[in-house]
Structure 1
């Protein structure tokens, strides 16, 4: 377990800033309520988690002589329009960047940063939900001695976050997934009607999640990384009368498993194209990619598609030793580094002492390093 004593001094000092627990509480309330009701559906009396977030924000403002939000709609406007760096709260240097918002300004839905802040909180019932599900799947597959079942479970969550009734039935009779059938049934939930336009659901062609219709006729994708690449391409279209009961993976798993999993799958594809042998989630998810070069040299890779580099740094830990490897890396999509200046430096500043030697590379840098190593081997070098 990570303790203050294992963190760099400035990272441990996060606990001295009273704005940190406030932002965690607020993010927790926003994500929990969006998952249950949608952020436009609140009426008095507010649920306790929301009221606590509003009360703490008002108190923080009053303590600093600042004008507080006067109501929940006012607070939501802050989260949608006012970058956290401009809030009258005390936050450490690495906590926020200019422009960081808790709510997306177009959709008013929680941003990926909001979800990552919520993951740092103990206030929310949704905290660590993704890890709870993954740990349950690991336990069930180990009990049955079925490593292939776990690998297929992960591929399902990464590649198929949306299922029609017919597809859900096909999954239910797939014997490879027998150890986790009940778990799969619980984590896929009916898709709300808010995703429907002209009697059709539309799936993002990049990240495979459902697109939300916007009033101006465009589409909104829940993945920050996807939106920064431009308007989301509409991939699959599913007519309502053909979908049966359309199911989608619950939000914490789409955020913390499907999203990073797309980056893992992209990296797998790039390395296989180089002629490397890649094994995904080996030994019940010891790490993400086990990569073997023609000379037998092995890389262990964990892919981390996180928006917030300081959170990623604070979570850093050595890659597990089995299956054995010669070099280990954490990898982040290049787009994350391009979106946030100083991303890798912030990660390095916030690493605990036990992970000081764990490098963080972009996916493009790692692919180029693999290509260079292959060229070196062709010339007789094993370096």
Structure 2
């Protein structure tokens, strides 16, 4: 997921502004994230946090105006966010705004869904810069000032492969000269981990996506990544004892959501393309795009990987892939699990694309690997005939 080109706010003041449900969903999503981070989503006391009270008041008004019973309090509102698909809420929403099973809270864990985070962070006022883009652009500026593209590549790799750090590991990074341009930034974006992640005196990372798992009341684990949960029960990976490691830190959530998550998808796509014998360069040209793929005949693809739950937010952010480093074809790619979870994902993306990106194709990662395999077969056929 590249950040270097100028971005537009995915929800400008257009036809979405005519629908009261859009700001209400944004308010709800923001309130749920604040509650989850401050008081948790299973116990409340008056007075409620201002964001939560605002969400409750606005939801009650929307219900009353539509003749629906309003939530009796914050506990009932949170329960509705977990159990009731958004399609059943009394909301006036534009086409493609929600899918039939979309929820702001995960039905099993009660934690904010990835969709909830996208509603909160991808629909702010146009004057607000998204936190993940702010951080990555700061890293780009610092590395360009040093004239060190390797430092930026190492920084992106750190965010993708090491979202959790112990105090000792953070100390080791302080001595890594490759990361010199971004050392201060790293200290800012890794935050202390709350005790809610602890189980039997230890923190546990997901073996698949490397983020911290949340222990559930029934003794299982919950992973914050949609992709991971759809693959089955979260596999417990690295276990870190607090008694010996101390208080660990993890990347702040916007970066886990919009950098680490897509980065895992980028790494998976890199692995699959390398397995075909193709040349792959990650984040070339200071992150002009995500993967530069080269075929044996010199033909090159530019690929940007986007791991977003909401196809309209993704479509509205679409822009042409930068021309440098040069390539012959360019694509955006989304993990296949996104399109399986939401029928019509690609069509909704295409309807939402701005005119400047009308010709930008979106393929799933599986489709892109299949296209690469087919092109290699054609090349081999031409070679055999020659």
| Shorter-normalised TM range | over 0.9
1:99-145 deviations in Å (ceiling 9; x for gaps): 11101122221100001111233279997111111111111111111
1:216-241 deviations in Å (ceiling 9; x for gaps): 11110011121111101111111222
Give the structure 2 partner of residue 119 of structure 1.
Answer: 121
Give the structure 2 partner of residue 52 of structure 1.
Answer: 54
1:279-332 deviations in Å (ceiling 9; x for gaps): 111111111011111111110000001111111111111111111110000000
1:137 corresponds to 2:139: yes
Looking at structure 2, the residues matched to 55 and 249 of structure 1 have their Cα atoms a distance apart, in angstroms, of 33
Q: CA RMSD in A?
A: 2.1
1:148 corresponds to 2:143: no
- Pairwise CA distance, 1:40: 3.6
Give the structure 2 partner of residue 249 of structure 1.
Answer: 251
Contact 1:119 1:127 in 2 (8 A): no
Looking at structure 1, the residues matched to 379 and 204 of structure 2 have their Cα atoms a distance apart, in angstroms, of 46
Looking at structure 1, the residues matched to 126 and 238 of structure 2 have their Cα atoms a distance apart, in angstroms, of 34
Residues 177, 3 of structure 1: alpha-carbon distance in 2 compared, 3 angstrom cutoff? closer
Contact 2:160 2:264 in 1 (8 A): yes
Pairing of 1:62-101 with structure 2 (within 5 A): 62-101=64-103
Pairing of 1:267-346 with structure 2 (within 5 A): 267-346=269-348
Give the structure 1 partner of residue 199 of structure 2.
Answer: 197
Secondary structure in structure 2 of the residue aligned to 1:341: coil
Contact 1:35 1:251 in 2 (8 A): no
Give the structure 2 partner of residue 164 of structure 1.
Answer: 166
Structure 2 counterpart of 1:25, from 24, 27, 30: 27
Residues 2, 187 of structure 1: alpha-carbon distance in 2 compared, 3 angstrom cutoff? closer
Gap runs ≥5 in structure 1: none
- Pairwise CA distance, 1:31: 1.8
Contact 1:288 1:302 in 2 (8 A): yes
Structure 2 counterpart of 1:210, from 209, 212, 226: 212
Normalised TM-score (structure 1): 0.94
Residues 42, 126 of structure 1: alpha-carbon distance in 2 compared, 3 angstrom cutoff? farther
1:55-103 deviations in Å (ceiling 9; x for gaps): 2111111211211112111111111111110001101220111111101
Range 178-187 or range 63-72, more displaced:
63-72
Looking at structure 1, the residues matched to 300 and 112 of structure 2 have their Cα atoms a distance apart, in angstroms, of 39
Looking at structure 2, the residues matched to 2 and 244 of structure 1 have their Cα atoms a distance apart, in angstroms, of 41
- Pairwise CA distance, 1:12: 4.3
Gap runs ≥5 in structure 2: 1-6
Residues 124, 314 of structure 1: alpha-carbon distance in 2 compared, 3 angstrom cutoff? closer
Normalised TM-score (structure 2): 0.93
1:209-261 deviations in Å (ceiling 9; x for gaps): 01111111111001112111110111111122222221111111111110110
Looking at structure 2, the residues matched to 350 and 344 of structure 1 have their Cα atoms a distance apart, in angstroms, of 10
Secondary structure in structure 2 of the residue aligned to 1:330: strand
1:362 corresponds to 2:335: no
Secondary structure in structure 2 of the residue aligned to 1:278: strand
